[in-house]
Amino acid sequence: QVDMAAMVQLFGYVDVTDTGFIVAALSIAFNPFFWNVVARWEHKTQALSQTFGSPRAACYCLGAVILVLNCVRSHCFTEAMRSQPKLEGWDCHWTYYSGLAISAVGTLFVISSFLALGFTGTFLGDYFGILMEEKVTSFPFSILDNPMYWGSTAIYLGWSLMHASPAGLLLTAVVAISYTIAVLYEGPFTEEIYRRKQKGGKSK
């Protein structure tokens, strides 16, 4: 069971009304909302593909925007941690190196996911009609569903521990919740795209 007294003490260090914290939380929630809305709009209208001349060019453009937004999110996250107090009991070598190890594992998942999927596979290419031939089952997908999302969450968790930051831990929880909602939203829709592809292939 969770020690509620410890949780209250931990988050007693966090000022959730601080402007930097609010901006960080909003940036975390906004990113998956943005790319899902834009990708579904593209899938329905092909407006981006028509504007940029091809689905691949449009996908690369959206991917570039997502990368910029992720950099902004990380900056806001870091600034929110720096503006709030550290947890003194965690400000030690053991916590720092534990966080570093967790971030390293998260980075491994993110990079290996990108290498397995490629740019268009990573950045919603299936919504642009750029479909993969078959489901990716190699590492890290062989051991974890949605390793890109959970690897990113692990990076933020490790970063928070390295800074002994209760604010960072709370924002990491926001990251995890945002990605959980994104998975629930994206998963069935993506499966439907590939189901239609298989159905179309069989009917030929």
Average pLDDT over residues 52-66: 97
Does residue 14 contact residue 170 with C-beta atoms inside 8 Å? yes
Round to whole Å and give the CA distance between 38 and 55. Answer: 13
Amino acid in position 32? P
Round to whole Å and give the CA distance between 74 and 28. Answer: 9
Query: What pLDDT, on a 0 to 100 scale, did the predictor assign at position 110?
Result: 97
Task: Give 94-127 pLDDT, tens digit per residue.
Answer: 999 999 999 999 999 999 999 999 999 999 999 9
pLDDT > 90 fraction of the chain, expressed in percent and rounded: 74
DSSP 3-state of 86: coil
Query: What pLDDT, on a 0 to 100 scale, did the predictor assign at position 5?
Result: 61
Round to whole Å and give the CA distance between 199 and 187. Answer: 18
Greater model confidence, 132 or 56: 56
For the chain, domain boundaries:
4-202
Does residue 156 contact residue 168 with C-beta atoms inside 8 Å? yes
Round to whole Å and give the CA distance between 204 and 188. Answer: 25
Task: Give 159-202 pLDDT, tens digit per residue.
Answer: 999 999 999 999 999 999 999 999 998 888 788 877 876 766 55
Query: What pLDDT, on a 0 to 100 scale, did the predictor assign at position 191?
Result: 80
